[in-house]
């Protein structure tokens, strides 16, 4: 509900005691957020604090002392306490005035926490600590009123603050300053103080500062305020105090009420986490636990409540919904609410942002129990990093220029160390907390950092660091975890964590909703296992390029450069044997799931020697010159290379089929093989490849006596392949859109050049709204795909259609895939959870009523 | 270390570099002469003071222990440190939300609140800067530089609050803080300990 005008809906509605607004038919338009919070709190069974709301329509009149007096009289009746009087435990009863708007708004006037002090005299009867607190709180309220209601220049108030450090001694000069520079003396009567406080709040709300805050939040400038007047007891009695309780543990996300409380009285509207833990509350924490669970259910949000306690027990005085829960809290809350039956499982899935899943899988070191911790400190900037130790900024810069990864380790950092901090991949300091220079700068630059590792000693002369018994030299490898604050000796593997139980539950619900299958891009057994752990339903893209690099390179090079048929044959045999091993490991991890193997796709030049030193003879030198290409990515690549060297694909599939026979006959797995041909633009390229593959399939079958089922398919990476999808579908049992190349060729973009040189400008000018390589271009490339989908299905209705590459893990791109009716997406193993959730969202958005598989 | 005699121009350039910690861009003739004297280090496009350069400036700027204004400056410095803590906390909040997640600046309400609180800090530091400048004339320019960064921030570029790469509010604040430490002759470690004591004492 967003009213077009914030002009008050109703006339004078009177003063509204906390918790009595809803029954008078009032809502946030007149009670504002704080009033509504107290209504909500009043509904959960615990008492709420004694106070009343001056609703929006009554606020303008409230700057009159008579109205303020009437409110004070009512408040005395509600609370049973005399304002400026003393409680049975010796506390002084004063007033707190606060403001809120009909919607959450920043830039509100501050709470005025102790109005009603008679003649501004801080009474002698209070204890020393209560007097000091009251003095500080009184000054804040008094200076605010003087500045905004009496027009006293803020600089002069600031000078007074500096000249008289003791607020008690500041009272008289302050009164004189108001008389000299203000429009009126500081009010002595309590009702005048309250009225002046209200006037100051209104002035502040109309100040340029508050106007700027409203503008920054896109809130209307005529947004009104309600005021709230409460009693506050200034005390230092052990049985009286205040605190807050939050419903969830921010680290785990689970329902675990926690918070802090303090003795004494609350001096500001801000919460103070440094108090006693809640289990030390005289009342115990159980009552708050029940309240928090009830409020979470009603508001469908993690919540914080503020409370006061005294001889009469607990009273709730504030409520805040956690508007932007972190990923852990959001997933855990959604799952808990669905399990409690408060929301549907589908709603739990729908309200979880796929970006949260990315956050939950933030990189961290892989711990095996074997690692050696070096030192621990404060996790000051999240993320993990590995690098060589540099002990000062200058060395860090030098080492980085030499191409090394560096962890800058220092006692503390100063602005002068900025060059080294920028050069480093991570930062470790011995001193300082989360607000230290190192922490603030590291977070600003997105570098993982640990600060305040106090056991760390640095010897700048010997160029060593020590922590306990460990001594390391500059240049030694260390790993840091900026989330846990632990540094380790040596290089740790950095990986993404596995999903939490809440996330696992949520993703299983997502699986019930989604239609798109989710597969993984994986080239080896380790990635394949990770992918399956993350919920992949098969492999959508196994690249074989890397299998040709390293010690295999000479074989491929021999095939391409050879002038001797026998040498070529020998090389191909070696290749087939090597590939058998590669595929064995991968297939063994896959159970009975489908595995799409893309045959060699790399451009030829990647296999050729880059310098004359690597050449074996004159013939190779001549061949190399002969094979030079102007544009290798559009040259002899993929199926084209395979058709020019007809032994290549047969050697690959021989390895593949043999590996399949190995794992099936050993009873390890029974995967469904899918062989995919890359970079096809002419349907006959597919036909010729298929013939080569079938021949090998029959050979391996007759040799092993096993029928090796496989399906054949092709990548759709060129616009021509998309336009001729019906012709391809006559032969292909599946098509997989390679949208990276398809995007390059549809736009005529060379990705590296465009991203490096042009993208920024294009985004700025609004020519593009996102990189088409990060988010699939639904309008252009998407239309081409839609056309291909229709063509392909017209020939082979049951053809399997998918997408592989980066887009397969991007939520917006997945939505496009759902819309054009693909069967699966294939994403990197770490993005599988994101893809599962995004696929469920895409389904629900397209078919709001659809649910269930 | 051998005694180094610098021209006024050299002193000014060296002081500026020590206060700022580093500078980018091509070295000016003066900066090059300081590099030749081993007082600054030029590394590609980056310049930073050498330990000798830092020490030189430290000696030059440090107020004598018996200087008549020292007591007044220290009293104001004690009022400055709690405000300094507020600014550091504010910059932390600008970068990291209370739950530890990175502030991605998509929450206008949250960012507007931080910007609003920055005004309280700016109001508090104003009278303090005025006092410092009375005793340390070289600190005169900071008020204008802070205001300039606020204006740029309010023109819509969030980097002007805390980016270490430009003269953001936080960067200028770090400079003025460094300027004070050099004048008083206090190490950053002593400074942090004093701040901790003052903040803890203030809220007890």
Residues 6+ apart with CB under 8 A from A148: A109, A199, A200, A201, A203, A204, A207
Contacts of B148-153 with C-beta under 8 Å, sequence gap 24+, read B150/B118, B150/B122, B153/B115
A268/B contact by beta carbon, under 8 A: no
Q: What is the pLDDT of residues A619-656, one digit of tens each?
A: 778 888 888 888 888 899 999 999 998 999 999 999 99
Cβ neighbour number for residue A221 with a 10 Å cutoff: 10
Q: What is the pLDDT of residues A663-679, one digit of tens each?
A: 999 999 999 999 999 99
> CB distance B126–A419 less than 8 Å?
no
pLDDT higher than 80, residue A436 = no
CATH code linked to domain A241-321: 3.30.470.20
The band of A173, judged by pLDDT with boundaries at 50, 70 and 90, is very high
> CB distance A445–B164 less than 8 Å?
yes
pLDDT at A852: 42
Residue in chain B nearest A208 by alpha carbon: B116
List for chain B the helix, strand, coil content (%; round to 5): 70, 5, 25
pLDDT higher than 60, residue A853 = no
Q: Where in chain A is the domain with CATH 3.30.1490.20?
A: 16-234
d(CA A665, CA A698): 17
pLDDT higher than 60, residue A264 = yes
Chain B contact set for A104 (CB, 8 A): 109
Tell me which of A105, A143, A443 to substitute to probe the interface with B (most B C-beta atoms closer than 10 Å).
A443
pTM of the full predicted structure?
0.75
Q: Where in chain A is the domain with CATH 3.30.470.20?
A: 241-321
**Stretch 222-261 of chain A: residues touching chain B, C-beta under 8 Å:** 250-251
d(CA A563, CA A620): 9
Chain B contact set for A221 (CB, 8 A): none
pLDDT at B193: 87
A273/B contact by beta carbon, under 8 A: no
**Stretch 1-60 of chain B: residues touching chain A, C-beta under 8 Å:** 18, 20-22, 41, 43-44, 46, 48-49, 54
Candidate from A249-263, A335-349, A599-613, A713-727 with smallest mean pLDDT = A599-613
Active site residue A405: no
Residue, of A331 and A369, whose pLDDT is higher: A331
Which of B79, B102, B162 is opposite residue A162, by nearest beta carbon?
B79
Cβ contacts from A onto B, under 8 A? 134
State the catalytic residue, choosing from A362, A405, A437, A470.
Answer: A437
Structure tokens at A556: 């491929």
- Domains of chain B, by residue range, sit at 8-61, 70-203
Q: What is the pLDDT of residues A112-159, one digit of tens each?
A: 988 988 877 888 777 788 888 888 889 999 999 999 999 999 989 999
B99/A contact by beta carbon, under 8 A: yes
Query: Of all residues in chain A, what percent carry a pLDDT higher than 90?
Result: 59
pLDDT at A219: 95
Which of A329, A419, A443 is opposite residue B48, by nearest beta carbon?
A419
Residue A277, H or E segment: strand A276-277
CATH code linked to domain A364-495: 3.50.30.10
pLDDT higher than 60, residue A8 = no
pLDDT at B1: 46
Which of A107, A329, A393 is opposite residue B116, by nearest beta carbon?
A107
Chain A contact set for B115 (CB, 8 A): 106, 212-213, 216
Q: Please state the separation of Cα A319 from the chain's center in Å.
A: 25
Which of B20, B163, B204 is opposite residue A444, by nearest beta carbon?
B163
A544-676+695-713 placed in CATH 3.20.20.60: yes
The band of A325, judged by pLDDT with boundaries at 50, 70 and 90, is confident
Q: Which of A102, A127, A124 is nearest to A37 (CA)?
A: A102
Residue, of B1 and A359, whose pLDDT is higher: A359
d(CA A199, CA A60): 9
State the catalytic residue, choosing from A804, A807, A817, A841.
Answer: A804
**Stretch 170-229 of chain A: residues touching chain B, C-beta under 8 Å:** 209-210, 212-213, 216-218
| Residue B194 C-alpha, separation from nearest chain A C-alpha, in angstroms | 13
- Quick one: average pLDDT of A510-537? 92
Classify each residue of A828-848 as buried b or exposed e, where b means 16 or more C-beta atoms within 10 Å of its C-beta. Answer: bbbbbbbbbbbbbbbbbeeee
A431/B contact by beta carbon, under 8 A: yes
Asked whether this complex has an ipTM greater than 0.90, the answer is no
Which of A401, A411, A441 is opposite residue B164, by nearest beta carbon?
A441
A434/B contact by beta carbon, under 8 A: yes
Q: What is the pLDDT of residues A22-42, one digit of tens each?
A: 999 999 999 999 999 999 999
> Into which CATH architecture does domain A16-234 fall?
2-Layer Sandwich (3.30)
d(CA A479, CA A367): 11
Longest dimension (CA), chain B: 57
pLDDT at A444: 60
A155/B contact by beta carbon, under 8 A: yes
Which of A158, A325, A417 is opposite residue B127, by nearest beta carbon?
A158
Tell me which of B101, B154, B200 to substitute to probe the interface with A (most A C-beta atoms closer than 10 Å).
B101
Residue in chain A nearest B200 by alpha carbon: A274
8 Å CB contact between A809 and A740: no
- Quick one: average pLDDT of A362-382? 82
> Into which CATH architecture does domain B8-61 fall?
Orthogonal Bundle (1.10)
pLDDT higher than 50, residue A4 = no
Candidate from A151-165, A187-201, A406-420 with smallest mean pLDDT = A406-420
Tell me which of A246, A322, A415 to substitute to probe the interface with B (most B C-beta atoms closer than 10 Å).
A415
The band of A415, judged by pLDDT with boundaries at 50, 70 and 90, is low
Inter-CA distances, A782 with A740, A788, A816, A817, Å: 12, 10, 7, 8
Query: Of all residues in chain A, what percent carry a pLDDT higher than 70?
Result: 96
pLDDT higher than 60, residue A558 = yes
pLDDT at B100: 63
Active site residue A807: no
- Quick one: average pLDDT of A394-414? 89
Residue in chain B nearest A253 by alpha carbon: B99
> CB distance A129–B204 less than 8 Å?
yes
Q: What is the pLDDT of residues A673-732, one digit of tens each?
A: 999 999 999 999 999 999 999 999 999 999 999 999 999 999 999 999 999 999 999 999
pLDDT at B99: 67
Q: Which of A555-564, A665-674, B101-110 has the highest mean pLDDT?
A: A665-674
8 Å CB contact between A95 and A83: yes
8 Å CB contact between A488 and A383: no
Q: What is the pLDDT of residues A781-824, one digit of tens each?
A: 999 999 999 999 999 999 999 999 889 999 999 999 999 999 99
């Amino acid at each position: 509900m967003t009213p077009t005008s914030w002009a008050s809906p109703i006339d004078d509605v009177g003063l509204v005691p906390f918790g009595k607004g809803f029954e008078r038919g009032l809502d946030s338009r007149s009670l504002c957020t704080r009033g509504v919070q107290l209504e909500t709190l009043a509904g959960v069974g615990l008492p709420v604090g004694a106070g009343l709301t001056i609703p929006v329509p009554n606020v303008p009149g409230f700057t009159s002392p008579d109205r303020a007096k009437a409110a004070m009289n009512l408040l005395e009746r509600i609370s049973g306490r005399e304002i400026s009087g003393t409680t049975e435990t010796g506390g002084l009863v004063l007033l707190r005035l606060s403001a809120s708007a009909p919607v959450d708004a920043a830039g509100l006037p501050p709470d005025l926490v102790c109005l009603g002090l008679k003649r501004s005299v801080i009474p002698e009867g209070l204890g020393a600590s209560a007097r000091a607190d009251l003095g500080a709180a009184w000054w804040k309220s008094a200076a605010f009123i003087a500045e905004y209601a009496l027009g006293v220049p803020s600089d002069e108030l600031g000078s007074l603050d500096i000249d008289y450090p003791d607020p008690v001694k500041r009272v008289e000069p302050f009164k004189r300053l108001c008389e000299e520079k203000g429009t009126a003396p500081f009010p002595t009567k309590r009702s005048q103080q309250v009225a002046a406080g209200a006037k100051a709040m209104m002035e502040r709300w109309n100040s340029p500062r508050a106007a700027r805050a409203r503008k920054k939040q896109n809130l209307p400038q005529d947004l009104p305020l309600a005021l709230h007047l409460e009693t506050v007891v200034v005390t230092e009695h052990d049985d009286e105090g205040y605190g807050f309780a939050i419903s969830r543990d921010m680290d785990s996300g689970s329902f675990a009420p926690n918070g802090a409380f303090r003795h004494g009285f609350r001096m500001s509207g801000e919460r103070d986490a440094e108090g006693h833990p809640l289990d030390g509350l005289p009342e115990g924490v159980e009552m708050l636990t029940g309240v928090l669970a009830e409020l979470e259910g009603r508001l469908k949000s993690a919540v914080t409540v503020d409370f006061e306690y005294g001889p009469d027990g607990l009273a709730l005085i504030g409520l805040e919904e956690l508007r932007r829960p972190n990923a852990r809290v959001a997933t855990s809350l959604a799952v808990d609410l669905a399990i409690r039956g408060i929301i549907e499982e589908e709603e739990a899935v729908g309200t979880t942002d796929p970006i949260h899943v990315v956050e939950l899988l933030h990189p961290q070191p892989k711990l095996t129990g074997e690692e050696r911790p070096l030192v621990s400190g404060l996790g000051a900037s999240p993320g993990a990093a590995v690098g060589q130790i540099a002990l000062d900024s200058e060395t860090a810069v030098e080492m980085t220029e030499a191409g090394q990864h560096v962890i800058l380790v220092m006692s503390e950092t100063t602005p002068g160390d900025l060059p080294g901090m920028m050069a480093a991949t991570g930062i470790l300091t011995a001193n300082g907390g989360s607000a230290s220079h190192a922490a603030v700068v590291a977070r600003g630059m997105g570098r993982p950092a640990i600060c305040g590792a106090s056991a760390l000693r640095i010897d700048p002369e010997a160029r060593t660091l020590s922590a306990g018994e460990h001594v390391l030299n500059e240049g030694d490898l260390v790993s840091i975890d900026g989330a846990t604050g632990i540094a380790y000796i040596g290089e740790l593997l950095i990986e993404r964590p596995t999903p939490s139980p809440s996330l696992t539950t949520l993703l299983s619900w997502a699986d019930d909703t989604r239609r798109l299958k989710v597969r993984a891009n994986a080239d080896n057994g380790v990635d394949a296992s990770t992918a399956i752990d993350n919920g992949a339903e098969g492999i959508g893209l196994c690249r074989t390029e890397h299998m040709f690099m390293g010690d295999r390179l000479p074989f491929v090079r021999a095939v391409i450069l050879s002038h001797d048929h026998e040498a070529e044959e020998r090389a191909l045999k070696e290749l087939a044997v090597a590939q058998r091993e590669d595929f064995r490991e991968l297939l063994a991890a896959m159970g009975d799931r489908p595995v799409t193997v893309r045959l060699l796709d790399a451009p030829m030049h990647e296999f050729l020697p880059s310098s004359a030193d690597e050449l074996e003879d004159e013939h190779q030198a001549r061949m190399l010159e002969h094979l030079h290409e102007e544009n290798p990515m559009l040259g002899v690549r993929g199926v084209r290379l395979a058709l020019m060297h007809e032994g290549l694909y047969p050697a690959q599939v021989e390895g593949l089929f043999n590996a399949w026979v190995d794992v099936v006959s050993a009873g390890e797995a029974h995967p469904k093989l899918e062989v995919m041909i890359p970079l096809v633009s002419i349907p006959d390229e597919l036909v010729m490849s298929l013939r080569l593959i079938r021949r090998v399939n029959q050979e391996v079958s007759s040799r092993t006596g096993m029928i090796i089922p496989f399906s054949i398919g092709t990548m759709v990476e060129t616009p021509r392949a998309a336009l001729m999808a019906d012709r391809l579908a006559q032969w292909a049992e599946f098509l997989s859109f390679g949208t990276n190349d398809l995007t390059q060729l549809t736009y005529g973009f060379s990705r590296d050049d465009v991203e490096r040189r042009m993208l920024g400008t294009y985004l700025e000018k609004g020519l593009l709204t996102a990189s088409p390589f990060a988010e699939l271009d639904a309008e252009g490339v998407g239309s081409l795909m839609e056309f291909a989908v229709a063509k392909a299905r017209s020939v082979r209705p049951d053809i399997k259609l998918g997408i592989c590459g980066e887009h397969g893990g991007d939520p917006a791109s997945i939505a496009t895939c759902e819309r054009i009716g693909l069967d699966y997406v294939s994403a990197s193993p770490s993005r599988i959870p994101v893809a599962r959730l995004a696929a469920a969202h895409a389904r629900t958005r397209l078919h709001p009523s659809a649910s269930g598989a | 270390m051998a005694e180094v005699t610098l021209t006024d121009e050299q002193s000014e350039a060296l002081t500026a570099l020590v206060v700022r910690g580093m500078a980018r861009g091509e070295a000016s003739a003066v900066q090059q002469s300081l590099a030749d004297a081993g007082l600054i280090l030029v590394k590609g496009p980056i310049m930073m003071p050498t330990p000798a350069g830092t020490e030189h400036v430290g000696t030059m700027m440090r107020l004598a222990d018996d200087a008549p204004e020292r007591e007044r400056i220290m009293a104001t410095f004690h009022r400055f440190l709690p405000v300094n803590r507020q600014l550091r906390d504010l910059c932390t909040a600008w970068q990291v939300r209370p739950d530890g997640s990175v502030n991605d600046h998509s929450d206008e309400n949250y960012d507007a609140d931080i910007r609003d609180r920055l005004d309280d800090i700016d109001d508090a530091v104003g009278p303090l800067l005025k006092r410092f400048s009375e005793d340390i004339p070289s600190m005169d320019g900071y008020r204008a530089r802070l205001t300039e960064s606020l204006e740029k921030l309010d023109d819509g570029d969030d980097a002007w609050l805390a980016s270490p790469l430009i003269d953001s509010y936080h960067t200028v604040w770090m400079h003025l803080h460094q300027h004070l430490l050099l004048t008083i002759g206090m190490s950053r470690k002593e400074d942090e300990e004093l701040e901790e004591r003052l903040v803890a004492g203030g809220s007890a």
